[in-house]
């Protein structure tokens, strides 16, 4: 079974999943706000992307849509919105709303991060994608529920347990069309370190807050 991009490898589709989980929907959402500060702008991108994926995965299950097809359509729609809004801004000389647009410096930081990630884990990926959840709630509960969400179902055995993290994990399984846990584990790691990283960038490295 093919992943999000049929001819792409599991690594490429997995990286696209991470991009969709943490960045892509937020690039559209952040344009509706006047937030010129670099860390605050990316915090909105981060949180709105996570929230959008949570609601979208839930909507897919509620309406019995095909998860992979739904995400392909969502990607096309979001891409169209970004292209149209960017073209509109260029033609008018004004931001879509306020000044909260993603600057070239923001994109540069994102590309540098992805490049470092790719080179750092190249030796791991070339030997295959490891399974990483071994014990605890991550393996016994959260990951099991994520696999159910990724197939467009509801985890009826969750007994009311919050499903935010399992639904976000599910996006990686939808994009890769596999049960490989590697990219879901990255989601878990990023959820822990991203808020700390944003704070450190602002407070300790002296980066300008206005891009």
Cβ count near 85 (within 10 Å) = 17
Q: Is 190 exposed, middle or buried (0-12, 13-18, 19+ CB in 10 A)?
A: middle
Q: What is the rounded distance in angstroms from the CA atom of residue 25 to the CA atom of residue 90? A: 21
Q: Treating both helix axes as pointing N-terminal to C-terminal, what angle do 38-63 and 67-92 enclose, rounded to 10 degrees?
A: 140
- Measured in whole angstroms, the distance separating CA 136 from the mean position of its chain's CA atoms is 24
Phi, psi of 137 (to 5 degrees): -60, -35
Q: What is the rounded distance in angstroms from the CA atom of residue 19 to the CA atom of residue 6? A: 17
Phi, psi of 10 (to 5 degrees): -65, -30
Instruction: Give the pLDDT mean for 58-85.
Output: 94
Q: What is the pLDDT of residue 155?
A: 93
Say if CB 175 and CB 71 are below 8 A apart.
yes
Q: Name the residue with tokens 């097809």.
A: 69
Q: What is the pLDDT of residue 102?
A: 56
Task: Please name which of 52, 73, 67 lies closest in space to residue 152, comparing C-alpha atoms.
Answer: 67
Q: Name the residue with tokens 């000044």.
A: 99
Q: Is 141 exposed, middle or buried (0-12, 13-18, 19+ CB in 10 A)?
A: middle
Q: Give the pLDDT confidence of 2-60 residue by residue, as tens digits.
A: 899 999 988 889 989 999 999 999 988 887 777 666 667 778 888 999 999 999 999 99
Q: What is the rounded distance in angstroms from the CA atom of residue 208 to the CA atom of residue 211? A: 7
Q: What is the pLDDT of residue 32?
A: 75
């Amino acid at each position: 079974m093919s992943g999000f991009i049929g001819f792409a490898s599991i690594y490429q589709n997995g990286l696209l999943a991470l991009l969709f989980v943490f960045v892509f929907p937020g690039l559209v959402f952040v344009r509706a706000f006047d937030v010129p500060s670099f860390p605050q702008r990316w915090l909105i991108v981060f949180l709105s992307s996570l929230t959008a994926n949570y609601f979208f995965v839930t909507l897919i299950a509620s309406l019995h849509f095909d998860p992979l097809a739904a995400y392909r359509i969502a990607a096309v729609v979001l891409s169209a919105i970004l292209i149209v809004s960017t073209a509109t801004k260029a033609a008018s000389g004004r931001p879509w709303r306020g000044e909260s647009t993603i600057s070239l410096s923001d994109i540069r930081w994102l590309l540098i991060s992805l490049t470092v990630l790719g080179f750092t884990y190249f030796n791991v990926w070339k030997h295959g994608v490891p399974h990483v959840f071994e014990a605890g709630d991550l393996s016994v509960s959260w990951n099991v529920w994520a696999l159910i969400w990724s197939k467009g179902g509801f985890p009826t055995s969750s007994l009311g347990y919050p499903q935010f993290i399992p639904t976000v994990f599910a996006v990686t399984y939808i994009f890769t069309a596999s049960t490989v846990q590697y990219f879901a584990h990255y989601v878990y790691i990023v959820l822990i370190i991203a808020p700390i990283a944003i704070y450190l960038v602002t407070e300790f490295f002296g980066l300008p807050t206005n891009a």
